[in-house]
Amino acid sequence: MWDATIEFGDRGGALHARGPDGAIQEDVSVRNRAAAVERMLDTLWSGKSKTVQSAADIDVVGHRVVHGGHKLQSATIVTPEVMSVIASLEAFAPLHNRAELEGIEIIEHLVGKVTQVAVFDTGFHHDLPLAAAVYPGPYSWLQQGLRKYGFHGINHEYCAHRLAQLMSRDISSLRLVSCHLGNGCSLTAIQGGKSVDTTMGFTPLDGLMMGSRSGSVDPSILTFLMRQGSLSPQGLDDALNKQSGLLGISGVSSDMRAVLAAIQAGNQRAKLALDIYVHRLQAGIAAMAAAMGGVDALIFTAGVGEHASEVRAAACEKLGFLGVKLDAAQNAHSPADTEISAKDSAVQVWIIHAQEDWAIAKACWGLAQKK
């Protein structure tokens, strides 16, 4: 077993890798994404964390791809045609699809003609009910493919099945609200194992307030700013994706940990950012429950969902009308894959560890076996 992550910026990054023979933690100087991935993969077949002998020992590589549109709905082996479709959707997920194509190209450069598999965040939501998926604009929008696609589907689907396992329940009998709260945030209503509503839409910008993304705003704000000449289309895109959310309101950071620390230091803008975040989260959870006519269990997952007990407590505080009641002690100290609801709660509340990598590996294995 080997796992590694690298976070990098203009001045370098931090590498964390772990293999059967030990761990590597180091600061690295990297020029670009390709150099960062190359350094990270180098730990797989060299040094203290050596796991395989060489790149030639790798049989298949899986990639999380955010937007598959209506053409790419299930895990698929990467071909030039598949890459072309992913590229055509870049405008729909500007922070993601281009980077994911680069990842595929980097692997081909470093590893060679290995089988690569794309697994799509939109796939789990591909059969959303039309009432949830279609925007109430001109019908021609739908004919042009302008509809809700939904995202974070890999993790939402994994969490639903993992929770059914933990509850010893058949997933077909469960109504779940999955809260994927990281730098990007989305909710999904999962009934009978299927996505029936979700907060992200045509792009990953819609829905909840996020780290640096606004989530839903009145569209007239955007047309107003364009008419006033305040922002160009690219300026609007940057403002909504990179300068909004927790960062835009707090002025501190897009990282919830930094926002919570600023609140402790008395920063009122940080407090406002958290209040908006929680207000929209509570409203979204209630809306997801309404889409199913009730809820049996509530899931918190991803970075904020798993680690920010303050956010979980605040989110559940006004959900008593749904039957949600937290155990404060459990919420404060529980690890992942643990129930944190009170014994008399009508709705179970769980922390589920996000394991998109495992879900992608499972999809790769299935395709490799077929091949």
Cα 177 to its chain centre, rounded Å, is 15
Q: How many CB atoms lie within 10 A of CB 94?
A: 18
Identify whether 275 is a catalytic site residue. no
Q: Please give the torsion angle defined by the CA atoms of residues 207, 210, 212 and 214, in that order, rounded to the nearest 10 degrees.
A: 30
**Amino acid code (one letter) for 323:** G
**Amino acid code (one letter) for 181:** L
Q: Of 31, 85, 96, whose CA–CA distance to 63 is shortest?
A: 96
Contacts of 90 (CB under 8 A, 6+ apart): 97, 98, 101
d(CA 194, CA 190) in angstroms, rounded, equals 5
Q: Are 148 and 155 in contact (CB under 8 A)?
A: no
DSSP assignment string, 283-344 = HHHHHHHHHHTS-SEEEEEHHHHHH-HHHHHHHHTT-GGGTB-B-HHHHHH--SSEE-B-TT
Number of H helices, E strands in the chain: 15, 12
Query: Given 42, 57, 59, 121, which residue is catalytic?
Result: 121
Q: Of 64, 70, 92, 24, whose CA–CA distance to 356 is shortest?
A: 64
Q: How far is CA 23 from CA 28, 40, 41, 53, 241, in A?
A: 15, 12, 14, 17, 35
d(CA 201, CA 211) in angstroms, rounded, equals 17
Q: Which residues are catalytic?
A: 121
